[in-house]
Structure 1
Amino acid sequence: MTIDTSKDQNGATVEVGENAFRYRVSTKWPSLPSDLDLVEVTAVATDSQDQVYVFNRGKHPVAIFSPEGEFIESWGEEVFARAHGITIGSDDTVYCVDDLDHTVKQFSTDGQLLMTLGTSGLYSDTGATSVDYRNIQRAGPPFNFPTNLAISPSGDLYITDGYGNARIHRFSADGKLLLSWGEPGDGHGQFQIPHGIAIDRNENVYVADRENSRIQIFTADGQYKDEWNDVARPCEVFIGDDSNVYVAELGFRAGMWSGTHPPIPNATGGRMSIFNLRGELQSRWGGGKTPCAPGDFFAPHDVWVDSHGDVYVSEVTMSAGGNRGLVSPNCHSLQKFIHQSKKVPQ
């Protein structure tokens, strides 16, 4: 099966990015069966075969597709309160973060439940009883609306917690809590929605500190090292096999909290940015000026890069404003960007 690429109004192939990070925008990806409605895609990940796991808020929460976009199967029906984050380990173990259930579940690739972290429906006492981080009064134990998970090279699990907490929790592979750090605020080691997380080969921890519009970097033991500020409400951070850092940024035109405002007039909307490990910007695209156009974004929420360097970006299009008419109901919630090194028919 050939992956179609998007054309602009003049019939030219749409490309995004710059330098070594140029991509062709895929269109008609994935190919959805008539009875499969994803509603909105909160997260996306690929396994060792580059099969794509699409975590969504429809009736079939984990929908699996071939790299070409052909539907394979789905699972997770009636298992989740609300889909949020998904991560697949090198052994193809699938981790799904359910923010409204306050749990993280580990599955086999065919959907068999292997382990649950947290207690279903039970949230820790931080003062917050909703996803509004501004109600947090103190840091607490796992979990209060957790958001995402990353796996370190040594196999430990790091979880961002999240909307109703301000902590990073480190677990052993078998689910034992080893360490937690963080508290509400905007200082070093403090968070306002620790939303996304990634671990590099040296076990440094990169945290997308969303409402502080920064990425904080820590040692494996939670010691503050550095932060990057050239980001706009980052939702997820992913470190590829190329050791570059891919950041999905929500921006300031979607999902704004009641009573909050952009930092400057005409602040950027949703976009994708790629940095090297020194925090130097390598490529960037989007910005939300035409949010439903191929290659642009309304509400980027997650990013994953497969073994071929292709980039998948999911968006919470409906809950960030589509349900209030800010964008068309047909606006994309998942896009695939094909690395320029691939030959694609024109």
Structure 2
Amino acid sequence: MTRQTELFHLEKPSLVLPKSNIDPHGMIVGDGDFCYRVDAHWGQLDPTKVPVENCHGLDMDSQGRIIMVTDNTRNNIIIYNQDGKLLEAFGSEFPGGHALKVVHENGEDFLYVVDSGWVLNRHWDGHSTDQWDSPFNRVVAQAGFIAKLSMNGRLIFTIGHPQTIGVYRPDQPFRPTDIAIAPNGDLYVTDGYGSDYLLQYDSQGRFIRHWGGHDNQDTSLNLVNTHGIGIDLRLDKEPKLIVSSRGERCLKQFSLSGDYLGTISAAGAYIGGPIFKGEHFYAPVCWSHIDGKNQHDSGFISIFDANNQVVANLGGTQPEYIDGVLQDMHSTWDVFNHCHGLCIDNDDNLYVGQWNAKQSYPMKLVRI
């Protein structure tokens, strides 16, 4: 396990601020033009039939269905309609199911599923949950992978450990966390729980290049717990990558060939990758940075405008810029645990999945 994985994915906080005991169903979150009514019961299912562990990744297909990946191997893929009705559940091959993207090719939808390499330990001692170097912890690490599937679950191809193609050394872990697909079909993968590189492949899964990691002389090129990624196609500008460097509480911009273009502050927020809608993008925040640590149950959702400025925080303190500098943001502790997966429908409603949230199902935030 890498040091940054321990610190930013797994570490216990020193101060736990209790969540409100008010049921968030029907609560209004947001500010100004970005207000939403919380439907906390939207995705609830029978856990004895369709269980979840963490609701890690969400996306919407061309039919408007909400597709989710969870790391419960009873049913890795769960498909809802927008009213929260279960349409289908399948898959058992992704014990570390972590991210999911839908791509439309030649009139057909396909799924890319990212497995981050975590697996339930059959030798679990029954109580250890954060003894990460112990062979008896509840989950243990293995190599992750990426799979391309048809919408009925048929495997098209997989991308495995880069050591097999001479890109990584055998001692470098590969535990990918997210994927983005460029207009030309190229794939961009963040190795956020492994060696913190960003890897580029073509549409057939053939390696092109990689960059990032921790050892660049220019530290702006480094990535720390690079958790999520998106391709910015807004305003008809040249496409670029926006990549979370979650451990640094920021997002970094790169060209599609890996040139560094700038950093977007997410002051106080351990932020994930962007989800674009119109001129804005939305990003899930897993933790707030308080008392020098990533606080438990302190997630929220940040909304950025066309100039990459935060304009609203859902479930968090509202953004403030002083002399052009974003001030620290944090949760209001009344809605979310740890925001992780996110997608947006055509009516600007949000669907939110959470990590480490007591096996809760995704919720819907209805735009007001």
Answer yes or no: same fold by TM over 0.5: yes
From 315, 325, 338, the counterpart of 2:366 = 338
Structure 2 CA distance, aligned partners of 1:28 and 1:42? Answer: 17
Distance 2:159 2:348 in 1: 31
Query: Could you list the runs of 4 or more consecutive aligned residues of structure 1 that deviate by over 2 angstroms after TM superposition?
Result: 8-13, 119-129, 261-269, 287-291
- Give the equivalent residue in structure 1 for 2:314: 285
Could you tell me how far 1:196 is from its partner in structure 2?
Answer: 0.1
Cα distance between partner residues in 1 of 2:49 and 2:294: 42
Q: 1:53 deviation in Å?
A: 1.1
Q: Once the two structures are superposed, what CA deviation does each residue of 1:131-164 show, in whole Å capped at 9, x if it has no partner?
A: xxxxxxxxxxxxx101100111222111111211
Higher relative contact order (CA 8 A, sep 6+): 2
Q: Does structure 1 residue 216 correspond to structure 2 residue 244?
A: no
1:18 aligned to 2:31? yes
Percent of aligned pairs with the same amino acid: 23
Give the unaligned 5+ runs of structure 1.
1-7, 130-143, 254-260, 319-328, 341-346
| 2:63 match: secondary structure | coil
Kindly state the Cα deviation for residue 71 of structure 1 after the two structures are TM-superposed. 0.7
* Structure 2: gaps spanning 5 or more residues: 1-20, 118-142, 317-329
C-alpha contact (below 8 Å) 2:96/2:144 kept by paired residues: no
Any idea what SS the aligned residue of 1:250 has?
A: strand
Aligned length: 296
Residue 135 of structure 2 is aligned to residue 96 of structure 1? no
1:187-336 correspondence runs (5 A): 187-201=219-233, 202-231=238-267, 232-240=269-277, 242-252=278-288, 262-263=291-292, 269-287=298-316, 291=333, 293=334, 296-318=335-357, 329=358, 332-336=360-364
Partner of 1:247: helix, strand, or coil? strand
For the pair 1:49 / 2:63, whether they are aligned, the reply is: yes
Question: Over the residues paired in the alignment, what is the CA RMSD in angstroms?
Answer: 2.9
Instruction: Tell me what 2:208 maps to.
Output: 178
Letter in 2 for 1:184: H
Q: What SS does the corresponding residue of 1:194 show, helix, strand or coil?
A: coil
Instruction: Report the equivalent of 1:113.
Output: 155
Q: Kindly provide the CA deviation profile for residues 293-327 of structure 1, in whole angstroms up to 9, marking residues without a partner as x.
A: 5xx21111222212221112211125xxxxxxxxx
Aligned to 1:140: none
Relative to structure 1, the CA distance from residue 120 to residue 103 in structure 2 (aligned partners, 3 Å threshold; closer, same or farther) is farther
Distance in 1 of aligned mates of 2:114 and 2:204: 16
Once residues 16 and 221 of structure 1 are traced to their aligned partners in structure 2, the CA distance between those partners, rounded to angstroms, is: 38
What TM-score results when the alignment is normalised by the length of structure 1?
0.77
> Partner letter of residue 164 of structure 1?
G
- Shift of the alpha carbon at 1:235? 2.3
Q: CA deviation at 1:262?
A: 4.2
Q: CA deviation at 1:333?
A: 4.8
Separation in structure 2 between the aligned mates of residue 37 and residue 212 of structure 1, nearest angstrom: 33
Give the superposition deviation at 1:124: 4.0
Q: What TM-score comes out, normalization by structure 2 length? A: 0.73
